[in-house]
Amino acid sequence: MVAPLYTTASGLLFHAGKILIITVGLPARGKTHISRALERYLRWTGVKTQVVSLGDYRRKTLGGAQKLPPDYFTLGEKSPETVALRQKVSDGCEQLIWDFFNAGGQVVIYDANNGTRERRQKIAEKFDKAGIHIVILESSCDNEELIMSNIRSVKISSPDYRTWDPEKAVADYYRRIKDHEIHYEPVEETTWPFVRVINVGEKIMVNSGHSLIEHSYKADSDLSAPGWDYAERLRDFVLDRRAKSLKARGMEAEDRRLVTKDGPRVKVVEKPQMAEINPGVWDGMTPDQVRKYYPDEWERFVNDPYAYRAPRAESYHDLCELERETEDLLIIGHASVIRCMLAYLIGLPASEIPAIEVARGDLIEVVPTSYGVHSQAYHFWDGPGRSNGGSGKDEHNFYENYAEDTQGKRRPEVEEAA
């Protein structure tokens, strides 16, 4: 079990901001179970969290299903009375969300179907405009045994079916599910970060180069349009540059395998060490924000940026590992990892690692020689995020901005190091 985190005087982990998690899914897909489990976990770690359940609020406000109009749970055309009742419940839930945030809460999990793109977009935009981070949590299940088990063990025991014959309750709820399936729209939009839980945890998908989410080391997002352009240009440039380099050494590209990704004579190697350095509680913060909110830790970091480890974070020292590889190797990783590797390969002291600038859009070729290492930076891409003249710099990537703020030596341009 994870250890409880500290809380600040306000009770907020202020570096993360306020977050609204909007659940999405057909009935009986485990949304409430997941919401309550997440609520317990976050509360245990010290985060002020609350589940706002549309179903619970509806029962508290309007009563059980037997007291509702017959068209309340069907989608499509509805009577004016039903439209008014549903709007009353929706507005009430949104007010509960606002009340919790205004009272100092940090995370709200909105437990509801939110099965249409229009519905969840409307809610998300409303809170996003107030500076609240949005995360979509979709629970998808195609296992009929799990669905029926959930209906029998949970749904028919709810206040909606009190006094009902169990079999009639199952049949009624199953009809409700089938009606929702007709109008349900799975989460495909990438406006907001989303997590998809399949078959109650059997598989989990997360949608967070130049990616759609830059400022968090944890993000594993889809590539943006510039990211895809970067990837394609990198592929073409690497193959061309490698062929020229090998030819200059009297070798052919076909004679040596390139260790990087799939393809003819290309080996796939994925390493968790290639992930961005974990900045811990500094995740998403600028150096100025760290200096303001963590003055003591900042002082220790400045005194020893290589070895100092921020609260719940990694240090550069933790990342300094390098596998031995006899084949040609293409390393694609985050800047903090590449800094460690360059320092190791070129022979820089560890204390200089945090100040090494790594420019996005440069391919750095490192070739061992008899008397040292030859390194050269080749520029191939001018897109968002370029340090020199490019747009789209991420102000919330702490380690990248620290390297630029120090105006350290551009070690990739050093040609020889003993």
The pLDDT tens digits for 115-139 are: 999 999 999 999 999 999 999 999 9
Are 137 and 37 in a shared domain?
Answer: yes
Confidence check: pLDDT of 332 > 70: yes
Mean pLDDT of 278-284: 67
Are 48 and 197 in a shared domain?
Answer: yes
Indicate the residue among 151, 184, 207 that finishes a domain.
207
CATH number, domain containing residue 384: 3.40.50.1240
pLDDT at 22: 97
Indicate the residue among 207, 231, 254 that finishes a domain.
207
Are 25 and 100 in a shared domain?
Answer: yes
Q: Is residue 360 part of a domain?
A: yes
Are 160 and 270 in a shared domain?
Answer: no
pLDDT at 236: 78
pLDDT at 162: 78
Instruction: Give the per-residue SS3 of the chain.
Output: CCCCCCCCCCCCCCCCCCEEEEEECCCCCCHHHHHHHHHHHHHHCCCCEEEEEHHHHHHHHHCCHHHCCCCCCCCCCCCHHHHHHHHHHHHHHHHHHHHHHHCCCCEEEEECCCCCHHHHHHHHHHHHCCCCEEEEEEEECCCHHHHHHHHHHCHHHCHHHCCCCHHHHHHHHHHHHHHHHHHCCCCCCCCCCEEEEECCCCEEEEECCCECCCCCCCCCCCECHHHHHHHHHHHHHHHHHHHHHHHHCCCCHHHCCEEECCCCCEEECCCHHHCCCCCHHHCCCCHHHHHHHCHHHHHHHHHCCCCCCCCCCCCHHHHCCCCCCCCEECCCCCHHHHHHHHHHHHCCCHHHHHHCCCCCCEEEEEEEECCEEEEEEEECCCCCCCCCCCCCCCCCCHHHHHHHHCCCCCHHHCCEEC
Q: Is residue 226 part of a domain?
A: no
Q: Which domain holds residue 118?
A: 18-207
pLDDT at 210: 43
Q: Is residue 256 part of a domain?
A: yes
Confidence check: pLDDT of 223 > 60: no
Mean pLDDT of 210-224: 47
* More confident of the two residues 215 and 118: 118
Are 164 and 299 in a shared domain?
Answer: no
pLDDT at 93: 97
Mean pLDDT of 268-292: 64
Are 248 and 186 in a shared domain?
Answer: no
Mean pLDDT of 141-162: 80
pLDDT at 5: 52
pLDDT at 277: 57
Q: pLDDT over 90 for what percent of the chain?
A: 20
Q: Is residue 147 part of a domain?
A: yes
pTM higher than 0.75 = no
Are 171 and 249 in a shared domain?
Answer: no
Q: Is residue 160 part of a domain?
A: yes
- Burial of 190 per CB tally in 10 Å (0-12, 13-18, 19+): middle
Q: Is residue 325 part of a domain?
A: yes
pLDDT at 411: 36
The pLDDT tens digits for 228-255 are: 676 777 777 777 877 787 777 677 766 6
Are 202 and 251 in a shared domain?
Answer: no
Mean pLDDT of 86-114: 95
Query: Is-contact 308 315, C-beta < 8 A?
Result: yes
CATH number, domain containing residue 157: 3.40.50.300
Indicate the residue among 187, 207, 227 that finishes a domain.
207
Are 255 and 397 in a shared domain?
Answer: yes
* More confident of the two residues 235 and 401: 235
Are 56 and 153 in a shared domain?
Answer: yes
| Weakest mean pLDDT among 29-43, 176-190, 339-353 | 339-353
* More confident of the two residues 54 and 306: 54
Average model confidence (pLDDT) for the chain?
75
